[in-house]
Structure 1
Amino acid sequence: MAALLARKILSCSTPGGISLRSYQIVCFLFPYLLSNGNGRLKPCGFCSVASRRSSDTARHLFEEFSKPQNLRNEEELRCIGKILTPEAVEDVLKGLKGWRRAHEFFVWSSRQERYKHNCYTYNAMACILSRAQRADPLKSLAKEVVEKRCYMTPGALGFLIRCLGDQGLVEEANFLVDNAEIMGCFPNSYTYNCLLEGLARTGRVDLVESRLADMLVLGMRIDKFTMTPVLKAYCNSGKFDRALGVFEEILRKGWADEHVFTLLLVSLSKGGEVEKAWELLERMERRSMNLNEKTFCILTHGLIKEGDFSRALALFGKMKESGFKGDLALYSALISKLCEERELDKALQFYSEMKENEILPDASLVSKMISSLCGAGDFIAARRILEVDGEGVGLGSLVLLYNGVLQGLVNHGLVESAHSLVYLMMGNCKETAEVPQNQFSFKRMVQPNADSFCIVVCGLCKAEKLETAQKLVDNMSASGYKGNLLMYNDLISALCSVHRLQESVDLLEKFPELGLEPSQFTHNSIFGCLCDMEDAQGAADFLKIMRKHGHAPWIKHCTLLVKKLCKVGNSQDACKFLDEMIEVGFVPDMITYTALINGLCHERDVDRALEVFRTVSSEWYLPDVVAHNIIISGFCNAGRLEEAQEILKEMVDKGLLPSVVTSNVMMNAWCKHGNLDLALRSFSEIDNDELRSPTVVSFTILIHGLLCANKPNDALAYWTKMREKGCSPNRISYSALIHGLCSCGMPDAALAYFDEMDGEGIEPDVSIFIIFLHSLALKGKSVEAFRILHKMIQKFEFSSPVGKNYERLRDSLRELYRDMHTSSDLVRLIEEGRIPVFHSVDMIVGQTS
């Protein structure tokens, strides 16, 4: 249908393409086709609220893939691969440095069982590849999105198309739109606008016209974001007559701005259409948008602000070619950006050029140059600027130049030199031994201002020289100088980070006489210190002070305090603290309440945990799946399965979908209490659920429960099923299976899985060795048992008794000692001290030594 309308439009257009009448139809439909731009992504987006589990997974993956490949823990990666989520993959992609490592991780993740990329992970990778200008892998990615039938929103599809367009991959971008339906996507105007932008860059007028016709058929909104790429396409292809026709329509609709004018003007100029360019300039002047020096400056400033600095420099070059010199504001913006990007040679060139044009730098720009040069270690150039441009400035401006020196010294790691210089500015010669006199000759001195002290104190705090920073602040106050809030905040934060609480409070108490009002950062620095020190009462009391100033406590600090109190068994103090928070007027976050509920459950105070859970549910929040899992687990661990089931039922009634973790918790409890039928039913539910799948933990729980119930054949059947499902067993799985088979009197079967475990490079712990050894020895399989013993003493040292396994180990060795095939070898090992737990045979046979 789209193609039909496209042919119809083109058939009634001028020989060159779409007619003016066609565009009038488009513009007439515009008010009725407005949409809300559905699917637009924010910069560096694809964000979702990741669970803490997903965050931990992302952190582990980031650590592993930040290492060289040969240093990665492949076993850990295999385990993590089983619980991989798109949210975790997206977080890792954002953090990894270099497109190669990111792409390697992206490919690895796509190969994991039961994991599937979504539109956000694809877009995260596309963004990285586009920025790195890697067209080939970007092409493959676009093809894979369609092949995998990845669900795409219109906004996500638009973002991916934009990434492709940035690299000139318009065929691939076009292919995505044609196959959008396969991905469950119905493109909107934003999607098509992104496509038009990419097509316009390559001058593909035929495709631009075709897609514009498609938009008409589909009833999409047509606006300046649609027509500007159309204009650009005609300009880039040199079809200026059509470009002017589109421009007239844009102008009539009131969509024309300086960007549209400039776009057409530059294209006409590059295309050699001088007369048409002059006509356009005259029209710009009539609209007060003529491309004079001011317009050049505005456009250049805009490009700098948008981060397109290369184009800003190019436009600045055009401006100078037009005979304009620019002004101080424009030069300051360009030079400051060059300094930020460490292009100091270019900055110095512009700085000299500006002065040659008789544009005098102000103190702010001079200070910026001095600071940047000092920060790069070019003290000679910095001194020259200070001597020349600081010669005739007043004292008020001179202090800005000296602050530039201070900031540059701090940035270059010479914080003690900056410290000495500020004392020299104060007139205190006793503290000036380290002033870099060989780099600077200070002909005139000026008193430091608040910024001077802030620069040095913040630098000292960053360098962890807190004593020096405090002494400077004390001397500053004693000499009648005043600091600013940033300086005091930095010092208080640094003191709090090392638990120097009283000194931080003392500084805060001086704020009124200093004329300072504490900020939320000030208060939260001290509040966080109190929480970190587990001072619940002190934190609660400090909340009252924060409340008076209208400052809310940061949730991370409240949660930290609750976790710390619960960890040491002070959950009652944690409850009291949260109650006092509410009394003060602050409602704790659900994350903080979840930490409290978890702590109460660990202390076996499940009734109190449930009370908190109910209170939160009725008065503040709807507890999430994590909170429900914690309270369910608490009741299961307390042996109160009926109440756990009731909470699970409530959870479903609230519309919350139980997670695999929820099912695992219940399965584990049922297995421990011998309710295998309920455990099997729960396993079957997640096994047949499209949204949930059993994990290696699920299988391990069930296998362990079956073995404890003396059903080894059923357990082995589920072990096989686990393999078939793609769940690779881990150390815990093997340990549960081997232990269970030994307990069921099947050491031969256990031995096969023990060897399999070893073959896969999974290290068993000492308890598995001892259990296995004990089982074989009691079955009279002394030779096999001795082989296990020999492996065990190669891997572990027994410098002390091995806890609850001591008796089991002694019984096993007693059996080996009684067997003539292993007796002498066992005695030799003991005499050699290879089994330090038993330093004589008498300890094994039951006599004391």
Structure 2
Amino acid sequence: MALRTPQKLKLRPLPLFSVFSKLPLSTTPHNNNNNHSDASVADILVSVFTEQPNADTPELNCFAPILTPPLVESVLTRLRTWKLAHSFFHWASNQGFRHTCYTYNSIASILSRSHQTSPLKTLLKQISDSAPCSFTPGALGFLIRCLGHAGLAREAHHLFDEMRLKGLCVPNDYCYNCLLEALSKSGEVDLIEARLEEMKGFGWEFDKFTLTPLLQAYCNARRFDEALRVYNVMREKGWVDGHVCSMLALSFSKWGDVDKAFELVERMEGHGMRLNEKTFCVLIHGFVKEGRVDRALQLFDIMCRVGFTPPVSLFDVLIGGLCRNGDSHRALSLLSEMKEFGVTPDVGIFTKLISAFPDRGVIAKLLEEVPGGEEERTLVLIYNAVLTCYVNDGLMDEACRFLRMMIQSKASGDVQMDGFFNKVKKLVFPNGASFSIVINGLLKNDQLDLALSLFNDMKQFVDRPSVLIYNNLINSLCDSNRLEESRELLREMKESGVEPTHFTYNSIYGCLCKRKDVLGAIDMLKGMRACGHEPWIKNSTLLVKELCDHGMAIEACNFLDSMVQQGFLPDIVSYSAAIGGLIQIQELNRALQLFSDLYSRGHCPDVVASNILMRGLCKAYRVREAEKLLDEIVVKGFFPSVVTYNLLIDSWCKNGSVDKAMALLSRMSGEDREPNVITYSTLVDGFCRAERPDDALLVWNEMERKGCFPNQIAFMALIYGLCKCCRPTTALHYLREMEQKDMKPDSFIYIALISSFLSDMDLASAFEIFKEMVYSGYFPESHDKNYSIVMDAIDKFSKDHRTSSGIQVLMEEGKLPTHCP
């Protein structure tokens, strides 16, 4: 087969011609005496596919007969990118070249190193299905390790079985060890244990390379006990090396067992083994993360002793840990050690130290350590940390003074520094963040006027203040009710080209709402709508509540209507407040209409809104409408709360329809709404009002049976009700039970019992209760409505021979008013 002539090749791109021109012409490519050495052909193919990655020309066909596994391997390994190698691999396949296990492994290695999992998966199908290829055990082991490196452990597991079942490879212990290694990287503990059982079945002895991946898998799976068992076996066999110890030490660190990790490192050192630099760094980071800076420093000393130079990142993490522990002495000592190692501290280390140790002495030492030749940008960051430190400690005078000195450095390089600031080697002009730190500090310390003054100074030096400074100043002005100044700052903000945010507008909007300035709030809503900002719900709700609290519910409703007209949908909380406000000013029908209109406005009234309206209806004795509202709530898919039912039960009880109230109790149980102590207390009171004490006691017993424990109000409701039903003896029983539960009744309970016993002609029992009341300090004042009842009782006690002497004793003790009969 002859190559085309140079004249014809001119029709092809020049790079391809220049490559083929280097190739001696021959019509017998299979001749053993040809001049095509593998090296020269490999050079040509590498050059062709490098210059034309998708080369697919007839001229390349001449190489098809001379492709050999070593030649293909050579070309694959010399191509610069995985895409080029992948393109050449497919080209060779299309030329009829039958790949061997070695060429497959070459492309697999390239794809694995580049983490190209999709092409790798396609390659596996080709190996086992479309173009089956026999593999030696060593070659299969290599391929499996490539898959493991790419995170394709499951695919490796499947390929292993495919190759064995199809007779493409007879795996040996090396193959198994490679598979175990791949599975360990993905934490496939169950698969590893299954493969170990297979190896046992073949009668193979486990070696170091078998147990190492098993140890790795147990460590990754946090199976502490199994990992230690494997480690002990390896130690008995003498297979423990630096890699194994490092693996276990890292795992101990991840598990939070820092002491065991450190002990393992010490044991390694005793056996002449040592960690590599990366493992040292990872362990130190892990120790600090676990809060064990002490062990991290010990490990750091070992690292330095064996000859490693710690990177600046390691100093950073150690100093950060010491800062969190408040150990300024050791942190500064570590900073000095950095000089000895020739490691320059970065700005992050200085800012950590300054922020953590605000003591003036510590800051002075740190400022002395700052290299004089540092860039201005770096120095500003360090000085900003000093400013932050002052602000956090509330030392605003110091912060302002330092900032003024930094500002003066621009006007004159020779700034007079006194006292503490003499430690500063070089002053630099502050940036926007410097001003922000101090201004925000002043705002937090309620020094708004000073913050505004500094802001005006800032505008002379900073082209455009940040939106954050504007927002903080406007918000502080609004919190101080300085509305006009905040609006002026908003205008200035827009003129300077700084775009106000939703926070800016909502700060002013909130101030207007607090002032109950409806017209101003509506104007602000218009401006917010034009800018695409939403008003905060809390501000709108605040305005509605303020208006309603001052009897201006109609104005509140008008405001909500204006919000809708501006394109904003008020929150259901705002509407609930408006409904409550209307009810307060006796506009119940309008509240009902507003509640009904909520559906057309895109809202579904929640249980809170329903309860507000329900309370209004019940208070107005429109109980049937309230019950109808309850049915509507249920129909619309809402679940009434216990409060909802309690409102209706209370209304029915007060109307004398206690049986309807009991029907609601049954309905609650059917809807999985557990009645509470208020529910039962209301029903007890209702039955007593209806002179049905036995039913009241049944409800009481039901309450206790269901584990709802009565409180003071429940006890008093029952006792008072029983007294009104002429059951003083039963009422007294529950008074004693109430007292056993460390609850004290109010004075009206004693008076109810006295009146009930007197009505029952039981003066002795009435007098005993009377004495309890007197000695408990519950004797009513003369303006109390129960005073006359008590005086009548004293009159009866004085006239009865059984109790008159007792009254005389109480009078002598000064327990009764002197004007008593």
* 2:672 counterpart of 1:684: no
Where does residue 713 of structure 1 map in the other structure?
694
Q: Tell me the distance in 2 between the aligned counterparts of 1:562 and 1:779.
A: 56
**Aligned equivalent of 2:220:** 232
Q: How far 1:700 sits from its partner (Å)?
A: 0.8
Contact 1:232 1:263 in 2 (8 A): no
Match of 1:381 in 2: 362
SS at match of 1:750: helix
1:577 and 2:559 equivalent?
yes
State the one-letter code of the partner of 2:676.
T
CA contact (8 A) 1:201 1:236 kept: no
Distance 2:608 2:466 in 1: 44
For 1:746, the equivalent position in structure 2 comes to 727
User: Following TM superposition, by how much is the alpha carbon of 1:315 offset from its aligned partner in structure 2, in angstroms?
Assistant: 13
1:673 maps to what in 2?
Answer: 655
Residue of structure 1 in register with 2:537 after alignment: 555
CA contact (8 A) 2:617 2:625 kept: yes
Report matched runs for 1:320-331 at 5 Å.
325=309, 328=312, 331=315
Equivalent residue letter for 2:343: I
For 2:531 and 2:808, the matched residues in 1 are separated by 77
In structure 1, the partner of 2:643 is: 661
Amino acid paired to 2:619: N
Task: Give, in whole Å, the separation in 2 of the partners of 1:481 and 1:822.
Answer: 94
Give the drift of 1:347. 4.3
Equivalence map 1:427-826=2 (5 Å): 427=408, 437-438=419-420, 441-442=423-424, 444-474=426-456, 476=458, 483-687=465-669, 691-777=672-758, 779-782=760-763, 784-785=765-766, 787-789=768-770, 791-792=772-773, 805=786, 808=789, 812=793, 815=796
The reply on whether 1:393 has 2:381 as its aligned counterpart is no
Aligned match of 2:398: 417
Alpha carbons of structure 1 residues 609 and 503: separation in structure 2 relative to 1, 3 Å: same
TM-aligned CA deviation for residue 706 of structure 1: 0.4
Does structure 2 conserve the Cα–Cα contact (< 8 Å) formed by 1:203 and 1:236? Answer: no
Q: 2:384 aligns with which of 385, 403, 409?
A: 403
Call closer, same or farther: CA 1:268–1:347 in 2, change over 3 Å.
same
Query: Larger Cα Rg: Structure 1 or Structure 2?
Result: 2
Shift of 1:437: 2.8
Distance 1:526 1:830 in 2: 68
* Map of 1:361 onto structure 2: 345
Distance 1:470 1:25, change over 3 A: closer
What secondary structure, in the 3-state scheme, does the structure 1 residue paired with 2:625 have? Answer: helix
Deviations, residues 730-749 of structure 1 (Å, cap 9, x unaligned): 11111211221222222332
Structure 1 residues 463-482: Cα deviation after superposition (integer angstroms, max 9, x where no partner): 33445444444555578897
Does the CA-based 8 Å contact 2:516-2:543 persist in structure 1? Answer: yes
Structure 1 Cα separation of the partners of residues 196 and 619 of structure 2: 67
Structure 1 runs not aligned, ≥5 long: 1-19, 29-195, 211-226, 244-261, 272-290, 430-434
Matches within 5 A, 1:61-100: none
- CA distance in 2 between partners of 1:25 and 1:444 (Å): 62
In 1, are the aligned partners of 2:216 and 2:247 still within 8 Å (CA)? Answer: no
Instruction: Tell me the secondary structure at the aligned position of residue 619 of structure 1.
Output: coil
For the 8 Å contact 1:742–1:750, the answer to whether it is kept is: yes
Write out per-residue CA displacement over residues 389-421 of structure 1, whole angstroms, 9 at most, x where no aligned residue: 152335444333322211112223433322333
Q: Give the counterpart letter for 2:678 in structure 1.
A: V
Distance in structure 1 (CA, Å) of the matches to 2:494 and 2:547: 34
Query: Given that residues 780 and 787 in structure 2 are in contact (C-alpha distance below 8 angstroms), is that contact kept between their aligned partners in structure 1?
Result: no
Q: CA deviation at 1:672?
A: 1.6
Q: What are the equivalent positions in structure 2 for 1:195-274 lying under 5 Å apart? A: 232-233=220-221, 236=227, 266-267=246-247
Question: Contact 2:464/2:498 (CA < 8 Å) preserved in 1?
Answer: no
Between Structure 1 and Structure 2, how many residues are aligned? 590
TM-score, reference length from structure 2: 0.60
Residues in 1 aligned to 2:802 and 2:195: alpha-carbon distance in whole angstroms: 87
State the Cα distance separating 1:640 from its structure 2 match.
1.9
Give the CA deviation at 1:788. Answer: 4.3
Q: Distance in 2 between matches of 1:713 and 1:693?
A: 23
Q: CA deviation at 1:683?
A: 1.4
Report the Cα distance in structure 2 between the residues aligned to 1:313 and 1:619, rounded to whole angstroms: 63
Instruction: Rate the CA distance shift 1:463–1:770 in 2: closer, same or farther, 3 A.
Output: farther
Provide, for residues 236-267 of structure 1, a one-character-per-residue CA deviation record: whole Å limited to 9, x for no partner: 35769x99xxxxxxxxxxxxxxxxxx999953
Cα-to-partner distance string for 1:685-744 (whole Å, 9 max, x where unaligned): 33466x332221121111111001000111112212222222111111112112212222
Residue by residue, what CA displacement relative to the aligned partner does 1:349-371 show, whole Å, maximum 9, x if unpaired?
55344443333234454334323
SS in 2 for 1:761: coil
Q: Which SS does the other structure have where 2:691 is aligned?
A: coil
C-alpha distance in 2, partners of 1:751/1:268? 74
Alpha-carbon distance in structure 2 between the residues aligned to 1:620 and 1:784: 64
**Conservation of the 8 A alpha-carbon contact between 1:417 and 1:436:** no
**Deviation digits for residues 769-818 of structure 1, max 9, x if unmatched?**
44444444555555554554555456668897656556555655565566
Q: Which residue of 1 aligns with 2:117?
A: none
Match for 1:709: what amino acid?
A
Give 1:582 deviation, angstroms: 1.7
Q: 1:24 to 1:516 in 2, by over 3 A?
A: closer
Mapped contact 1:830–1:840 kept (Cα < 8 A) = no
Q: CA deviation at 1:610?
A: 2.4
* Change in 2 beyond 3 A, CA 1:638/1:265: farther
RMSD of aligned residue pairs (Cα, Å) = 5.1
Residue 634 of structure 1, CA deviation: 2.8
Q: CA 1:345/1:624 → structure 2, altered by over 3 Å: closer, same or farther?
A: farther
Q: What SS does the aligned partner of 1:762 have?
A: coil
Cα distance, 1:575 vs. partner?
1.6
Tell me the SS of whatever aligns to 1:741: helix
CA contact (8 A) 1:370 1:386 kept: no
Q: Compared with structure 1, are the counterparts of its residues 647 and 324 closer, same or farther at alpha carbon in structure 2 (3 Å cutoff)?
A: farther
Give the secondary-structure state (helix, strand or coil) at the position aligned to 1:490.
helix
Distance in 2 separating the partners of 1:442 and 1:350: 21
The 3 A distance-change label for structure 1 pair 293 and 263 is closer
CA contact (8 A) 2:617 2:626 kept: yes
Larger mean Cα displacement after TM superposition, 417-426 or 716-725: 417-426
- Cα–Cα, structure 1 residues 715 and 236, in superposed 2: closer, same or farther, change >3 Å? same
Q: Is the 8 A contact 1:409 1:418 kept in 2?
A: yes
SS at structure 2 position matched to 1:617: coil
State the Cα distance separating 1:819 from its structure 2 match.
Answer: 5.3
Shift of 1:760: 1.5
- Aligned partners of 1:699 and 1:718 also within 8 Å: yes
Distance 1:440 1:770 in 2: 82
Residues 1:693 and 1:342: Cα distance change in structure 2 (over 3 Å): same
Higher relative contact order (CA 8 A, sep 6+): 1
Q: Secondary structure at the match of 2:600?
A: helix
